[in-house]
Amino acid sequence: MSESILKLSGVQKRFGGLQAVYPLDIDVAPHSIHALIGPNGAGKTTTVNMITGVYKVSGGTIEFDGKDITNMKTYKIARLGIGRTFQNIKVFPNMTLLENIMVGGHQLTKIGLVRGIFDLKGTVAEENMLREKAESLLDLLGMYDVRDHLMKNLPYGRQKISEIARAMMTDPKLILLDEPAAGLNPSERAELINVIRKAYNNGYTFFLIEHNMDVVMTLSDDITVLSFGKKIAAGKPKEIRNNDEVITAYLGRAYAKS
Amino acid sequence: MKKNRRLMYYIIAGIIVLLLPVIVRNEYWTVVFVRVIINMIVALGLNFITGLIGQMNLGTAGIYALGAYGSALLTNKTGCSPWLGLLFAAFLGLVIGVALGYPSLRLKGVYFSLTTIGFTMIVQIFLNNLTGLTGGSQGVQHIAPFTLFGMAIDTYVKSYYLYLIFALVALFIANRIVNSKWGRLFRSLRENSDAVEMMGVDIASVKIKAFCVCAVFGTIGGAMFAHFYRYISPATYTTDVSMNYVLMVLVGGIGSVPGTLVGAAIITILPELLRGLGEYYLITFYIIILAGILAFPNGWIDAGQRLITRIKSHNTVKQKGA
Ligand SMILES: Nc1ncnc2c1ncn2[C@@H]1O[C@H](COP(=O)(O)OP(=O)(O)OP(=O)(O)O)[C@@H](O)[C@H]1O
Ligand SMILES: [Mg+2]
């Protein structure tokens, strides 16, 4: 069955004596926003790191777009079409916003280092392609006007959104977002929701890790809940909101009955 | 207007560079200028690793030595043309690039620097002890000069002009790479390599490419040195030399091609200007360079530009006042 774009089957991770993730099944449907939520230390980032090949799995298999990607090298997984943002932001602070995004498209180009020295015409064409693509992404996400600013001079919220744009630049089939709303103020958070929505409407699929319930409940089609490395629930936002185990483990009363 | 003026500056600078040996008419300074040219080429190469990718490579002396010995020994032992020696040196550069590139993938920061120092020391030990091949501490003598259309490039002035052509080629290549998507990729590696890998980039292969470019520039510089001085010995290639190349990359303006050229010129010429100070000349040199790094954290070019804009705005204020 190739109903899901990403399929985790019995994926688990041990760090020495610590079982960070118990055997975990997740199915991400094509063109959807699938959220993975859970309290601190639940194993969410560890799961993303296994999907992207940063960590080797201790067991189980990961299938992406019909291919087994378990324990493949990170850059090869990325080439198959998985993009990612990081919980602790990883941008290029001393480069401009536009340059940050253009680096994302490096792998879409073909001219090698030696040929690039002499192929004046070809490099100009490639560079124009990269610039136009990056600019149209920035335009879509509302950051075109600040494209020539150094990344380190942009507000934190915009840096986080630029990480999403950089991931989109690789033409991924799936983007993993690790806590994109963490550290954002309410207006930045609203902008972020807007950005993810827009990207979703443009055909992108997201796997979203998030603590912020506004963001999760507003955006998600499906939710998986982890607690202490174990999946305690999975379903539609409505079902999760009304799941007793989830409420006690994580959500708190505020979201129980609204 | 502005573009025209800039073009004029370039033309004037070009004419000065072209006429330099004729203007100074002095063998000593012509040798210094030849050394500036060679150092510019080596530093342009190092700029890829230390300037753009940001890894402190203290192995330049070893790279340089292998280029010099490779070309000198091949020409001396086989009697072939120095041009073939140069080609061989470039090939050695590719090999060294791969050999240094791999450890750079695993070793970070100071551990990488120590490895490159170790590389230079190993090269020196081999050059000193493989007496049968390298002549040991005696070095290699009677190295043939380059020839061009049957003319031996055997004077300082002729060498200056031939090497100027080499430098222009190196400058063209370095400029193209630094200002391309590859230069951008190298800089992004310095900023955050995890993120780059997540863009689908095979970091190992990219870094090895950068090391190959760096080492080829270095070995070619070494070969140029050998066929210019026509005598080489292991004592020349110490870690001090590597340190000076790092300074060339740092002082002018990190990562930029003009910055590297200015850095190479400063680090090569300044000690000669200070020679009059006798035993104090080296310490004065290093104090000036250190003070420069502290005072102009963005490099001497940036400092110079600031000075010029300041003088300009000062002048316009004066004119308005008058
Ligand atoms: N490299 C590692 N080595 C050892 N233990 C680790 C490592 N990475 C994560 N862990 C442990 O695994 C558990 C899960 O961590 P993880 O970072 O996946 O949590 P998380 O759900 O992302 O939490 P948060 O919401 O705080 O980001 C934690 O107990 C953490 O200490
Ligand atoms: Mg986390």
pLDDT digits (tens, 9 = 90+) for A232-254: 989 999 888 888 887 777 655 55
Mean pLDDT for chain B overall = 91
| Inside any domain, residue B184 | yes
Question: pLDDT tier at B135 (50, 70, 90 boundaries)?
Answer: confident
| Inside any domain, residue B273 | no
Burial A25-50 (b: 16+ CB within 10 A, else e): ebbbeeebbbbbbbeeebbbbbbbbb
Structure tokens at B147: 């020839």
Structure tokens at A22: 């118990």
Least confident of B1-15, B149-163, B177-191: B1-15
The percent of residues above 90 in pLDDT, for chain B, comes to 67
| Residue that wins the pLDDT comparison between A250 and B247 | B247
B122: pLDDT strictly greater than 60 = yes
pLDDT, average across residues A10-23:
95
pLDDT, average across residues B132-140:
88
Domains of chain A, first to last: 6-255 (3.40.50.300)
Q: What residues of chain A lie within 8 A of the CB of B185, using their CB? A: 103, 106
A39: amino acid identity, one letter = P
Choose among B75, B60, B33: nearest CA to B219: B60
- The Cα–Cα gap between B285 and B273 comes to 9
Residues contacting ligand 1 via CB (< 6 Å): A 15, 18, 20, 38, 40-46, 87
Q: What is the pLDDT of residue A53?
A: 96
Least confident of A108-117, B103-112, B169-178: B103-112
B257: amino acid identity, one letter = V
Least confident of A41-50, A129-138, B274-283: B274-283
Cα-to-chain-centroid distance, residue A77: 13
B243: pLDDT strictly greater than 60 = yes
B211: pLDDT strictly greater than 50 = yes
Q: What is the pLDDT of residue B253?
A: 86
B123: pLDDT strictly greater than 60 = yes
pLDDT, average across residues A98-107:
97
Yes or no: say if A246 and A225 are a contact pair by the CB < 8 Å rule.
yes
Question: pLDDT tier at A255 (50, 70, 90 boundaries)?
Answer: low
Q: What is the pLDDT of residue B132?
A: 86
Taken in order A144, A150, A152, A154, the sign of the CA dihedral is negative
Q: What residues of chain A lie within 8 A of the CB of B199, using their CB? A: 78, 103-104, 106-107, 166, 169-170
B322: pLDDT strictly greater than 50 = no
For the CA of A47, the nearest atom of ligand 1: 18
pLDDT, average across residues A220-229:
93
Q: How far is CA A191 from CA A143, A222, B272, in A?
A: 11, 22, 60
A256: pLDDT strictly greater than 60 = no
Q: What residues of chain B lie within 8 A of the CB of A49, using their CB? A: none
B9: pLDDT strictly greater than 80 = yes
Nearest 5°: the CA angle A168, A169, A174 is: 35
A228: amino acid identity, one letter = F
B245: pLDDT strictly greater than 90 = yes
- The Cα–Cα gap between A35 and B314 comes to 60
Q: Where are the alpha helices (DSSP H) in chain B?
A: 2-24, 27-46, 60-78, 82-106, 109-129, 131-134, 156-178, 181-191, 193-197, 203-229, 239-252, 257-273, 281-295, 300-321
Per the confidence metrics, is the pTM higher than 0.90? yes
Q: What is the pLDDT of residue B106?
A: 85
B94 touches A: beta carbon within 8 Å: no
Residues recorded for chain B: 322
User: B200 vs A107: CB contact, 8 Å cut-off?
Assistant: yes
**Residue range B138-166, pLDDT digits in tens:** 899 999 999 899 888 888 999 999 999 99
Taken in order B182, B187, B188, B192, the sign of the CA dihedral is positive
pLDDT, average across residues B1-13:
81
Task: Show which of residues 208-227 on chain B sit within 8 Å of chain A, judged by CB atoms.
Answer: 209, 213
Q: What is the pLDDT of residue B40?
A: 97
Yes or no: say if A161 and A192 are a contact pair by the CB < 8 Å rule.
yes
Q: How far is CA B179 from CA B39, B168, B290, in A?
A: 21, 16, 29
Q: How far is CA A67 from CA A5, A10, B186, in A?
A: 10, 16, 31
- The Cα–Cα gap between B227 and B235 comes to 17
Least confident of A191-205, B8-22, B241-255: B8-22
B109: pLDDT strictly greater than 90 = no
Cα-to-chain-centroid distance, residue A63: 17
B1: pLDDT strictly greater than 70 = no
User: B197 vs A74: CB contact, 8 Å cut-off?
Assistant: yes
- The Cα–Cα gap between B159 and B80 comes to 19
Least confident of A88-92, B14-18, B170-174: B14-18
Residue nearest (by alpha carbon) to ligand 1 atom 6: A15
B201 touches A: beta carbon within 8 Å: yes
| Inside any domain, residue B9 | no
Question: pLDDT tier at B299 (50, 70, 90 boundaries)?
Answer: confident
pLDDT, average across residues B73-77:
95
- The Cα–Cα gap between A163 and A151 comes to 11
| Inside any domain, residue B284 | no
The percent of residues above 70 in pLDDT, for chain A, comes to 96
Question: pLDDT tier at B169 (50, 70, 90 boundaries)?
Answer: very high
Question: pLDDT tier at B287 (50, 70, 90 boundaries)?
Answer: very high
Q: What is the pLDDT of residue A258?
A: 44
Residues of the domain holding B149: 25-238
E strands present in chain A: 6-15, 18-28, 33-37, 59-64, 67-68, 82-84, 174-178, 206-209, 222-227, 230-235
Q: What is the pLDDT of residue A201?
A: 93
Counting the structural domains of chain B, the total is 1
Yes or no: say if A255 and A213 are a contact pair by the CB < 8 Å rule.
yes
Q: Which residues contact B35 (CB under 8 A, 6 or more apart)?
A: B268
> B201 by DSSP, 3-state: which?
coil
Name the burial class of residue B8, with classes exposed (0-12), middle (13-18) and buried (19+) by CB atoms within 10 angstroms of its CB.
exposed
Q: What is the pLDDT of residue A1?
A: 43
**Residue whose CB lies within 8 A of the most ligand 1 atoms, among A13, A24, A44, for a mutation test:** A44
Q: What residues of chain A lie within 8 A of the CB of B182, using their CB? A: 113, 116
Yes or no: say if A58 and A10 are a contact pair by the CB < 8 Å rule.
no
**Residue range A142-162, pLDDT digits in tens:** 999 999 999 999 999 999 999
ipTM of this complex prediction, to 2 decimal places:
0.92
